[in-house]
Structures are given as structure tokens and as C-alpha cells.
């Protein structure tokens, strides 16, 4: 069996692992990174950027967000059901981390909101093709280059299987190399950063009760099987709840023009299987809230409904709300898109000439939906007495054809599972650090309580990069001692 020796092994090269490797190497440690995939970057290659609070961009843009304000918001949102010390440390470090990344050559477009009611904490990475998905892959490239410059060794296609413990302390890791041969790496410290279990259907079912592909449509990258969680628990770390980082989705829109998701993602009339409204639809843009609402309904489904005059309005004027993810207000190819969905036999979309027919197709009692639509149309002439929806989004549904789409719970993957303290030391049931064991990123992300905190966007990549750095600092200090 091939054997390596180093001071710190970083398990995985997503943003948490990459940041941990760079930081530990900067602090003088000898580091080997084992990554299961053939490339580095993990899920963050799909995303756009991390959170920063109190950054120079926010100051330049006159955005009023401070560590104090964000901390209060966060603690109230989570009902203080989380580790205040870790959150404070993460937020406090986040502005420095933006500059730390810039020192490696990462550039940022500025600080952005995800949706109107969120804060501008999302630091979108600049690319050579403008703002858009996958921008953060540029950040990962810079981290990778910096780590290599600092002498970090990367073993790609090398999944870690086990943490070797001796006398209660980390003594090495067991992995398989790209030829399937077992290797051991002797080390004093191991940092686990394997990104959670977003593609592990069994673990998701067991831990959260959701059935992936039925009532949950996760868009996690492949390969996130919760191996880091298992290894940490086996090595003595305490097990905390594993949760879904919720984001609602309109199923089947990936194969259709973006206008379809864009139209149905607007604050339209939203009903459940009983034909009843379930929320103030202004908040649909917060996809975590929307996923929570959907998860509480019969069959875990809701329907976003528009009539032809609303579609006409959107086509003529552009949709009400765009985001950095759905940037284009132009939905002029909506009709082609919905026709394509029908031709493909996509069961998530419905068209009908009357509200009654639409209800029947959606499996809702027609009288119930007719009553809801009548009531909603009355609110459109006055005020929304039911859920206080903003007047500007209240548009009556009266002209067929009517269009509807299923809205389902979705998720970026899982968060949480390994107990850590504010130094990212993995801790046992007695809250004592397991000597030499650290965790960062999604594997250790127990900070949202029951719902992802989208009001401060960039939060999960921000958490990954910042806890990666904290774990790197702690591990370097430990091996030096
Ligand atoms: C489409 C999409 C868009 C997103 N956009 C944003 C955004 O703009 N802002 C934001 O804040 N968040 C965003 N996120 C979430 C964010 O990307 C994640 O929170 C973040 O990447 C988590 O970082 P991580 O390092 O913990 O894990 P990951 O990035 O998931 O990386 C985990 C790595 O572990 C490797 N691995 C797994 N098992 C092993 C093993 N046994 N041995 C070795 N390696 C292993 C995997 O191959 C992977 O490379 C997005 C997510 C998705 C899916």
C-alpha cells in the first residue's frame, strides 16, 4: 500500500477544502488535499459568489449592512437556536475573506441582493463573460492556483474512506487513488469538507423524510454522498441534524426556454391541492420560504397560476421581478415554451380554457378553485384581505386560456451533521474537540436552524470559504503545537 506523510490532510477540494488548504499552508503547515472528483471546486463551480459583510463594495455602494445588523438579523431568524460564537466569527471574518480572495486575483462585480427583500451581501465573482451562473468557478481556480503556489499537494480522483485514529487522536486517513489502489496518508490533522449528502437519496430519506425525485427535487452536484459525515461520526464527532438547504423549483423547466420558469416564478396566484391560497405571494422570490410553504401542503405541491391577460402583460412589459439568476425580463418565447412542455408530455404544466377545467386537470375540486379565483379577483379591485399582498402584484385572472405549473420543494443539497465549535474543531458528545479533527463547509453547516437564510445571500458559499479558513488556521496551529 502506498503511503504518504504530511501534517494536514484536507478531505475534498470544494470552496471549504480549498480555502482550508490555502490558509493552513499560509500558516506554515504541510498540506495534502484528497479530492474524489477529477476537478476541484465542488458545487461552488455552479454558483456565483460568497457572502461578505462590511466589505469595501458595500461601503462604496452606500449599502447599510454591518456585522452587528447581520448578526442580529441572523440570530432572530434562527431563534438563537444556533452557535452565536461561530456566526459572529464567520461574519466578522467575511469582509477580510473577500480581500484575501482578491489578493489571489479574484475580482468581484460588487455586492448584490438575491431578491428585493434580501440584503446586498452576495459578492458575485467577476468573469470574462459577465454576471451569470458558474462565476464562482473563477474563485475556485484562483484558490487552486494559490494552494499549488504554496506547495500544497493535490491528489485528484482520490476519495477518502476513513479517518485513522490512534490514542483518540487523528493519525492519518485511508483513501483510494485513481487506480483504485488503497493509500494511507499519515497526518496529525484532518479537515473534513465533503459538501454534505445532497445526492444520497437514502441518507436524505432517513435524515429528513423527503423522497428525492418525488417530493424533493435536489439540484446538488453528483458525488455528494455524505462520506465526510460518516467518517466524522465514526471518528467520534457528535451527530447533529442533517437538513436540506431548501430552494423551491418549478419542475421540468430545465429543458424549456427560461421564460417558462420566469413567468411561473413571479408573485402570481399560488394555490394548494385544496384550491386555497397558502401565502402572500410577494415572498415567492425567497425560494426557501416558498419551499417551506410547499412542503407543508398536501402531496407537497402548489400551483402557480396565470391567465392569458397576465401572460400578455408579462410578454409586453417584461416580468415584474428579475434576479441575478433569472436576469432576463423578456418572456416573449413563453408560448413556445409552454407548447414544448405540452408536446413533451411534461406533467408539471397545465393549460385550460376555463378555471374549472384547469382545476380538474390539476386534481383540485373545481368549485374550490373557482371560489378562490373569484375572491382573489375581488382583492385585485381593493386590497388583499387574506394575505396582504402588495397591490402592484394583484392582477385578476379572468381570461382564458389559463396556465399553471407545479411548484415543488427543491434543494442545493444538505447542510449540517458534524458538531463543530467556533474554531471548526469537530466536537464529541461532551462538546470536547476530537484531537486533530476539523470540519468546514456544508458538512458542518449547522447554522441555519430549520431554514436556509436567504435574506443574507451568498451565505452557504460564504460559510464554506470562511469556515474553511478557520479550520485551516486551527489545524495549522494544532500541528505546530
Ligand atoms: C447550482 C448551485 C448554485 C449555487 N450558488 C451559490 C451561490 O451563488 N452562493 C452561495 O453562497 N452558495 C451557492 N451554492 C451553494 C454552494 O455552492 C455550497 O454551499 C458550497 O459549494 C459548499 O461548499 P463545500 O466546500 O462545503 O462543498 P462542495 O462545494 O459541495 O464540495 C464538496 C467536495 O467534496 C468532494 N468529495 C465528496 N466526498 C469525498 C470524499 N470521500 N473524499 C474526497 N472528496 C470528496 C466532492 O467531489 C466535492 O468536490 C450553490 C449550489 C448549487 C448547487
Range of the domain at 262: 253-408
- Euclidean distance between CA atoms 108 and 101, whole angstroms: 10
Report pLDDT digits (tens) over 433-447: 999 999 999 999 999
pLDDT value at position 217? 87
Report pLDDT digits (tens) over 160-186: 999 999 999 999 999 999 999 999 999
pLDDT value at position 164? 98
Of 391, 408, 425, the position where a domain reaches its end is 408
Phi, psi angle pair for 243, to nearest 5°: -125, 165
Considering the domain architecture, whether residues 188 and 148 belong to the same structural domain is answered as yes
Lowest mean pLDDT among 15-19, 87-91, 132-136, 330-334: 132-136
Residue pair 443/426 in contact by the 8 Å Cβ criterion: no
Which residue CA neighbors atom 36 of ligand 1 most closely? 194
Q: Where are the beta strands (DSSP E) in 53-142?
A: 108-112, 122-125
Considering the domain architecture, whether residues 323 and 193 belong to the same structural domain is answered as no
The rounded mean pLDDT for the chain is 96
Instruction: Give bridge partners of residue 408 from the DSSP assignment.
Output: 249
Distance of CA 435 to the CA centre of its chain: 30
Which residue CA neighbors atom 4 of ligand 1 most closely? 47
Burial class (CB in 10 A: 0-12, 13-18, 19+), 382: exposed
Dihedral sign from CA coordinates of 420, 32, 196, 206: negative
pLDDT at 141 over 90: yes
pLDDT value at position 354? 98
- We report the CATH number of the domain holding residue 153 as 3.50.50.60
pLDDT at 329 over 90: no
- Euclidean distance between CA atoms 162 and 436, whole angstroms: 14
Residue 206 domain-assigned? no
Predicted confidence band of residue 199 (pLDDT cuts 50, 70, 90) = very high
Question: Which residues surround ligand 1 with Cβ inside 6 Å?
Answer: 11-17, 34-37, 42-44, 46-50, 159-160, 193-195, 219-220, 223-224, 227, 412, 441-442, 458-462, 464
pLDDT value at position 254? 82
**pLDDT, average across residues 313-329:** 86
pLDDT at 327 over 80: no
Report pLDDT digits (tens) over 344-380: 999 999 999 999 999 999 999 999 999 999 999 999 9
Considering the domain architecture, whether residues 126 and 141 belong to the same structural domain is answered as yes
Residue pair 365/420 in contact by the 8 Å Cβ criterion: no
pLDDT at 278 over 90: yes
Residue pair 20/469 in contact by the 8 Å Cβ criterion: yes
Alpha-carbon distances of 401 from 74, 307, 311, 377, 462, rounded to whole Å: 43, 6, 10, 16, 44
The per-type count for the chain, helices as H runs and strands as E runs, is 14, 19
pLDDT at 220 over 90: no
Instruction: Give bridge partners of residue 51 from the DSSP assignment.
Output: 122
Residue 211 domain-assigned? no
Predicted confidence band of residue 129 (pLDDT cuts 50, 70, 90) = confident
Residue 204 domain-assigned? no
Phi, psi angle pair for 392, to nearest 5°: -65, -20
- Euclidean distance between CA atoms 349 and 404, whole angstroms: 6
Nearest to residue 83, comparing CAs of 474, 445, 465?
445
- We report the CATH number of the domain holding residue 282 as 3.90.700.10
pLDDT value at position 65? 95
Instruction: Give the CB-side neighbour count of residue 413, counting CA atoms within 13 A.
Output: 27
**pLDDT, average across residues 267-283:** 97
pLDDT value at position 219? 82
Q: Work out the percent of the chain whose per-residue pLDDT is above 90.
A: 92
Residue 353 domain-assigned? yes
Considering the domain architecture, whether residues 142 and 115 belong to the same structural domain is answered as yes
pLDDT at 431 over 80: yes
- Please choose from 52, 141, 191, 195 the residue to mutate so as to test ligand 1's pocket, defined by most ligand atoms within 8 A of CB: 195
Amino acid at each position: 500500500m502506498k503511503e504518504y506523510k504530511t501534517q494536514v490532510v484536507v478531505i475534498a477540494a470544494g470552496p471549504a477544502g480549498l480555502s482550508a488548504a490555502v490558509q493552513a499552508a499560509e500558516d506554515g503547515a504541510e498540506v495534502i488535499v484528497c479530492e474524489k472528483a477529477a476537478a476541484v471546486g465542488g458545487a461552488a463551480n455552479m454558483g456565483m459568489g460568497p457572502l461578505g459583510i462590511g466589505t469595501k463594495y458595500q461601503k462604496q455602494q452606500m449599502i447599510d449592512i454591518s456585522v452587528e445588523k447581520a448578526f442580529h438579523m441572523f440570530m432572530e431568524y434562527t431563534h438563537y437556536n444556533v452557535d452565536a460564537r461561530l456566526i459572529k466569527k464567520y461574519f466578522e471574518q467575511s469582509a477580510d475573506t473577500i480581500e484575501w480572495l482578491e489578493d489571489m486575483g479574484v475580482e468581484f462585480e460588487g455586492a448584490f441582493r438575491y431578491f428585493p427583500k434580501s440584503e446586498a451581501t452576495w459578492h458575485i465573482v467577476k468573469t470574462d463573460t459577465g454576471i451569470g451562473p458558474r462565476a464562482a468557478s473563477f474563485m475556485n481556480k484562483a484558490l487552486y492556483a494559490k494552494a499549488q503556489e504554496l506547495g500544497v499537494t493535490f491528489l485528484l480522483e482520490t476519495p477518502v474512506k476513513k479517518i485513522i485514529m490512534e490514542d483518540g487522536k487523528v493519525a492519518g486517513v485511508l483513501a483510494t487513488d485513481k487506480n483504485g489502489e488503497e493509500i494511507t496518508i499519515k497526518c496529525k490533522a484532518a479537515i473534513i469538507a465533503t459538501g454534505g449528502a445532497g445526492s444520497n437519496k437514502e441518507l436524505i430519506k432517513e435524515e429528513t423524510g423527503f423522497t428525492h425525485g418525488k417530493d424533493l427535487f435536489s439540484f446538488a452536484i453528483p458525488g455528494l454522498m455524505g462520506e465526510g459525515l460518516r467518517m466524522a461520526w465514526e471518528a467520534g464527532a457528535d451527530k447533529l441534524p442533517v437538513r436540506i438547504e431548501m430552494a423551491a423549483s418549478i419542475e421540468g423547466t430545465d429543458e424549456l426556454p427560461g421564460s417558462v420558469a420566469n413567468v411561473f416564478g413571479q408573485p402570481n396566484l399560488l394555490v394548494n391541492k385544496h384550491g386555497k391560497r397558502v401565502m402572500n405571494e410577494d415572498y415567492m422570490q425567497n425560494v426557501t420560504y416558498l419551499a417551506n410553504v410547499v412542503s407543508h401542503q398536501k402531496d407537497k405541491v402548489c400551483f402557480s397560476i396565470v391567465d392569458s391577460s397576465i401572460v400578455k402583460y408579462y410578454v409586453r412589459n417584461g416580468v415584474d421581478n428579475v434576479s441575478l439568476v433569472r436576469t432576463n425580463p423578456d418572456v416573449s418565447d413563453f408560448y413556445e415554451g409552454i407548447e414544448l412542455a405540452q408536446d413533451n408530455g411534461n406533467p408539471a404544466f397545465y393549460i385550460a380554457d376555463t378555471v374549472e377545467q384547469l382545476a380538474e386537470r390539476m386534481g383540485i375540486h373545481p368549485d374550490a378553485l373557482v371560489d378562490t379565483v373569484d375572491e382573489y379577483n375581488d382583492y385585485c379591485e381593493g386590497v388583499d384581505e387574506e394575505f396582504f399582498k402588495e397591490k402592484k402584484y394583484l392582477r385578476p385572472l379572468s381570461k382564458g386560456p389559463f396556465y399553471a405549473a407545479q411548484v415543488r420543494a427543491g434543494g442545493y443539497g444538505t447542510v449540517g451533521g458534524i458538531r463543530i465549535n467556533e474554531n471548526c474543531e469537530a466536537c464529541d458528545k461532551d462538546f470536547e474537540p476530537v484531537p486533530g479533527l476539523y470540519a468546514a463547509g456544508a458538512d458542518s453547516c449547522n447554522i441555519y436552524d430549520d431554514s436556509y437564510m436567504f435574506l443574507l445571500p451568498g451565505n452557504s458559499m460564504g460559510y464554506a470559504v470562511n469556515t474553511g479558513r478557520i479550520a485551516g488556521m486551527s489545524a495549522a496551529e494544532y500541528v505546530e503545537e
